[in-house]
Structure formats: structure tokens, C-alpha cells
Amino acid sequence: MEAPQPPPPDVPRYLQEKELSQEDKDFIFSLPTEKGWVADGLHKYHGFWLSTKQMHGVLACQKHFQAVDSDIVLVTTVKSGTTWLKALMFALVKRAHYLDPQRHPLLTENPHVLVPCLEFDVYTDKQVLPDLSSLSRPRLISTHLPYVCLPDSVKHSGCKVVYAWRDPKDVFVSLWHFSNKLRPVGSGTMSLDEAFDKFCRGVNTSGPFWDHVLGFWKESLKRPESAFFIKYEEMKEEPALHLRRLAEFLGCPFSPEEETHGVVDGILRLCSFDNLSNLVVNKSGKLPAGIENSAFFRKGEVGDWMNNLTPEMVKKLDSITQEKLHGSGLKF
């Protein structure tokens, strides 16, 4: 069997095929598979749809990642304010290390670099395991994985989990725009109708959306001391209130002196959409995987679905949401 040919040098890493072991390849492609939104396929694993690249990272992190009690894990469904939450949590948790606002890492690094994703960034090469022992505590990591797919060490350690979710109508619209930005040159765009059908069936990265949310919601009810559940829309409406709540939950509340000196407002200004989206690094830089940083900054608004969805689409998504979340205590 011939070795795979190296990709052309201008193909970004996120579009390059992984060199999977035969064992992993046989397992992944034995799963139910559908066409993905960007390039690679989606595979149904424990009831959720994960991309081929994501599956590679999932299998590696499930086997090797060892959470410690001081870890902080940000979990989101895709396109649920992840970039903003990463910036806020980094600025919040690491604030004692960066007292000079003119020299803050967020001014020169994208939030996705500062808070890497477990399955997409940390475990990118199963043959070369990352050395996480040197990371400063608390370690900040993120994931889009559903609860059932998390490494056991995350579930059974004392680490803190912050879960953010968003109106599925805005999630869908944002995911559709984002995916079309990432599609290979020459492959065209995915139509709104095709994407909508997939999303309603749960066939999207880490979908179904509703099952993802419910898995962590139920866990937060069981272990409120270690799981913080926040809605994107609530965070946007009262950011200072929820940033203080988050600080309390993570064990780093704001001191009276910090309150007096406006530290809360300073973090919110630093991490605002207007500030982050206009930084040079986020207008022109790229992630190691080759995704342009600007792709993560579209609008950052609540309710943009009104500009994209037909009344029939809205009715269908609202009906699915009502049916799925019925009796859970969650609602929009």
C-alpha cells in the first residue's frame, strides 16, 4: 500500500487528511457516516456526529488526557460564543499574571491559541502526545465534545466545567456562515436548505445540538459545585453580573480593591467584540491549523437568525427545541 502523498503546500492543515492508524481508520469508517459541512465526513459516535479529524482527537484524548482538580474546561456547542468565552475566562483566571493592560496576551494572540481545544488542538497527533505538565495552573482548555464523549478523567476529577449554550437558531446561522468560509476552494458553498436539513437531523459537528445541551444540563443539576451553566444571551445582556458569578464559581472572586479599580469593566472592554475583532492578530493572523482568525468574528449578535431564516424554518426549529427540551427546565 502506497504512503499518502503530502498535500500541496498551500492547503491549510485543517483540510489535510490525517494519517490514521489502520485500527483507527477501520473503527471510524465502521461508524454511520454522512457528508460533512466543510470537507471531511461526520461519523455517529455514542449518538453524536463528530468529524473525521475530531474523531482522531477524541480517541487520543479519551485514552491519554488526565484531568487534575485545578483544571478548568470550557464546553460549548459549536458557534455558541466560544471565542468570547475563551477570552473572558483567560482574562479572568489569569488576571494576576497580566496587570499591564497594554501588554496583555489577548492583544497579540487569538483566544483559541490561549485556550486550546482538547480534540482539535491538543491531541492533533496520536503518535506525538502533548506534554501538559508544564502548563501553568489552573490549566484552561476547551472542547465541543458531548458529555458522553469526555475523557473519564474530566468526568471523575474535581475539575470545573463551564458550559455555554445559545439559541439554536443563531447557532445554526452562525455555523452555516462559518462552514462556508472554511470549505475548500472550488467546492462551492453549502446551501441554506441543505445545511438546515442536516442541523435539524442533528448532523453537524458535535450534534445533535439539543442532546449536547441536555447532557451537560443534567450533569450540572447533579454536580452544581463543579458545573457552571450559562446561556450566551444572558451573558450578553448582563455581562458584568455573570462575569462576577463565573469568578465566584471558579474560586477567583473579585476583591473590593479590584471592584474599586474597575477590573470587571476592564476585562469586559478587553474582551469585547469590537476590541477583539479590530486587533491586528484577529484581522490578519491564522491559527496553527490554517484557519484565518477573522473567521471567528462575524457579528457576535443576538437574534441574527431573523436576517437569514424563513418563517417556516423558524417554526420548525422552535418546534424541535420545544419538543427536545420539554420537561427539562430549559427553554428559550
Residues annotated as catalytic are 144
User: In sequence order, what E strands does 105-179 have?
Assistant: 140-143, 160-165
Please give the radius of gyration of the chain, using alpha carbons only, rounded to the nearest integer.
Answer: 20
| Of the candidates 276, 296, 274, 246, the residue with the CA atom closest to the CA atom of residue 106 | 276
Write out the three cell numbers for 179: 462552514
What's the maximum distance between 2 C-alpha atoms anywhere in the chain?
Answer: 67
CB 125 within 8 A of CB 24: no
Write out the three cell numbers for 30: 465502521
The DSSP output letter for 36 is -
End-to-end CA distance of the chain: 53
| Of the candidates 149, 151, 145, the residue with the CA atom closest to the CA atom of residue 163 | 145
How do strand 160-165 and strand 140-143 relate by DSSP bridges? unpaired
ω into 208 cis (within 30 of 0): yes
Q: How far apart are CA 60 and CA 125, in angstroms?
A: 8
Write out the three cell numbers for 122: 491538543
How far is C-alpha 238 from the chain's CA centre?
Answer: 21
Write out the three cell numbers for 62: 479519551
